[in-house]
């Protein structure tokens, strides 16, 4: 019940008429690309279906997400799974010359970050509510993104759950397709086995070269990062640049 009240309060706060216009890119709730239906795997069908955008060429101009990408002319960066927003808000303020987009599946988190960014007067940030992989596959233009940030994704530590991890070959292909030449993918996680898996996958991909981790300023550090540092939990980070 408490969680429900907090969610309702966060969503209602977005409607405050005293705030600047919302930074969330509105999209129909029934969009099965950004919000695909719940998939329950079976032994006969163990992998989720691939969802494709139903928008026809004539209707794509009506989609706020596609319109944002079409109208954006500045360097574009995308934060995947922005959570409570400490990084994406801090990064947007640190780089006002760039357009920053964030994708997050939790509706309440989108609302909270939207309100906080509007209170700070941020104008170069846009927020999208939905699933990351179909977003990359259907909404993001090819060779358009300067940088992707993926910080502390859900590690799904149990072996039977690892198929749910975002970082897969399919994900890397989508990142590569949408990155510009010289664009980078920056990753951090506290889960060593997940980092080793990511590192092995990227090392085998000759389209990328490994580089130093992206060093975040104090205002760009995520809630997870601050928590892990306070507990002296190791953080594993790296970046990869597209050839």
Q: Residue 32 region, left (φ>0) first, then alpha (ψ -120 to 50), else beta?
A: alpha
3-state SS assignment for residue 43: coil
Dist. CA 163–CA 19, nearest whole Å: 41
Dist. CA 184–CA 145, nearest whole Å: 9
Known catalytic residue: 190? no
Residue 185, φ and ψ in degrees, nearest 5: -115, 120
* DSSP state at residue 130: S
Dist. CA 26–CA 46, nearest whole Å: 32
Dist. CA 48–CA 131, nearest whole Å: 13
Candidate list 154, 190, 205, 223, residue with the active-site label:
154
Cβ pair 129, 35 in contact under 8 A: yes
Q: Enumerate the active-site residues.
A: 154
């Amino acid at each position: 019940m408490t969680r429900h009240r907090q969610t309702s309060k966060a969503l209602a706060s977005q409607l405050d008429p005293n705030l600047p216009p919302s930074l969330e890119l509105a999209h129909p709730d029934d969009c099965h690309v950004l919000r695909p239906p719940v998939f329950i795997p079976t032994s006969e069908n163990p992998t989720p279906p691939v969802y494709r955008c139903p928008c026809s060429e004539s209707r794509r101009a009506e989609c706020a997400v596609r319109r944002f990408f079409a109208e954006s002319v500045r360097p574009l960066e995308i934060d995947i799974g922005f959570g409570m927003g400490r990084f994406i808000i801090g990064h947007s303020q640190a780089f006002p010359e760039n357009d920053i987009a964030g994708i997050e599946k939790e509706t309440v988190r989108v609302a909270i970050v939207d309100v906080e960014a509007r209170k700070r007067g941020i104008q170069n940030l846009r927020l999208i509510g939905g699933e990351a992989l179909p977003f990359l596959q259907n909404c993001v233009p090819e060779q358009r993104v300067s940088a992707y940030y993926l910080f502390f994704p859900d590690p799904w530590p149990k072996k039977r759950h690892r198929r749910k991890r975002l970082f897969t070959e399919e994900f890397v292909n989508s990142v590569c397709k949408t990155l510009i030449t010289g664009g980078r993918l920056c990753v951090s996680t506290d889960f060593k086995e997940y980092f080793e898996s990511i590192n092995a996958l990227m090392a085998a991909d000759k389209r990328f070269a490994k580089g130093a981790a992206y060093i975040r300023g104090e205002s760009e550090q995520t809630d997870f990062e601050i928590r892990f540092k306070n507990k002296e939990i190791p953080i594993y980070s790296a970046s990869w640049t597209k050839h």
